[in-house]
Amino acid sequence: MDMVEAIRQRHSVRRFTDRPLDETAVRALQEEIDACNRESGLRIQLVLNEPEAFQANKPSYGQFGGCRNYLAIIGPKGKDEEAGYYGERIVLKAQTLGIQSCWVALTYQKGKTQGTLNAGEKRYLVVALGYGETSGVSHKGKAITDVSDYHEGDPAWYRDGLEAALLAPTAINQQKFRFERKDDKVVARVSGFGFYTKIDLGIVKWHFEIGSGKGPEIFNI
């Protein structure tokens, strides 16, 4: 499965089977995590076979079941966009390995979550990982013209990037982002108010890069 296909197939999954992650998949995932940490200065950590972070049965949205594996997205403060961007790189890598996921900012047991924190670092949030009981479902979202200045006749790479961005996970599916094209460059920013919008923006930018086939320089105006 390539990354474009992974974007199409990814949906949040909150209930997992008790099958442990395959060893080869764990190795591939850890390589991606190491690469992301080297590039970003984050210290994203993979926690395996640890059920406590998701044992709560809080009566809030997002009931989790059977989650024993997760990414603890940890790093220096002020790197919210990077947390989203690099976290989603790992999420999509996981999807290509047949592993489902769900970003989780609220509905987990913060006090019981593992992962080491150095001075000046914070845990931004976690991402649940595992083999889903189902592969999840699509959600209705915004249209291209709700989140961009796209017009008919614009380049195909721009439309493809936007379509991929619209398939990205965002907190409570808020999709509070906006893209604008200036010739062969693109500006992406948070649009409106909400929680975790900078993390969402990083996630969405990674999707745009994959969908458009462009590298990160597409955003350097």
Ligand X SMILES: Cc1cc2nc3c(=O)[nH]c(=O)nc-3n(C[C@H](O)[C@H](O)[C@H](O)COP(=O)(O)O)c2cc1C
Q: Least distance to ligand X from the beta carbon of 58, Å?
A: 10
Could you tell me which of 10, 17, 27, 106 has the C-alpha nearest to residue 67? 17
Touching ligand X, residues 179-218 (CB under 6 A): 196, 199-200, 203
Residue nearest to ligand X (CB): 62
Contact pick of 105, 123, 160, 190 for ligand X (by CB under 6 A): 105
170: contact with ligand X by CB under 6 A: yes
Query: Under rule CB under 6 A, which residues in 109-168 are in contact with ligand X?
Result: 125, 136, 139
Least CB distance to ligand X at residue 15 (A): 11
Interaction of residue 56 with ligand X, rule CB under 6 A: no
Least gap, CB of 156 to ligand X (angstroms): 24
Instruction: Kindly tell me which of 44 and 102 has the beta carbon lying closer to ligand X.
Output: 102
Rounded Cα–Cα distance for residues 17 and 9 (Å): 18
Q: With CA atoms as reference, report the closest residue to 36 among 102, 77, 94.
A: 94
Q: How far is the CB of 168 from ligand X (least distance, A)?
A: 7
Which two structure tokens, joined as six digits, stand for 151?
């017009």
Burial (CB < 10 A; 0-12, 13-18, 19+), residue 102, is buried
Does position 104 interact with ligand X (CB under 6 A)? The reply is yes
- Of 11-19, 33-41, 111-119, 185-193, the window that binds ligand X (rule: CB under 6 A) is 11-19
Closest CB to ligand X among residues 148, 170? 170
Residues pairing with 4 in the sheet: none
- The amino acid occupying position 87 is G
Contact 103, 64 (CB under 8 A): no
Task: Give the residue among 108, 119, 91, 57 at the shortest CA–CA distance from 204.
Answer: 91
Consecutive H or E run containing 189: strand 185-190
The first and second tokens of residue 162, run together, are 């936007």
In the complex with ligand X, which residue's Cβ is closer, 181 or 208?
208
Q: Is 54 a residue that touches ligand X (CB under 6 A)?
A: no
> Which residue type occupies 59?
P
* Residues binding ligand X (CB under 6 A): 11-12, 14, 61-62, 102-107, 125, 136, 139, 169-173, 196, 199-200, 203
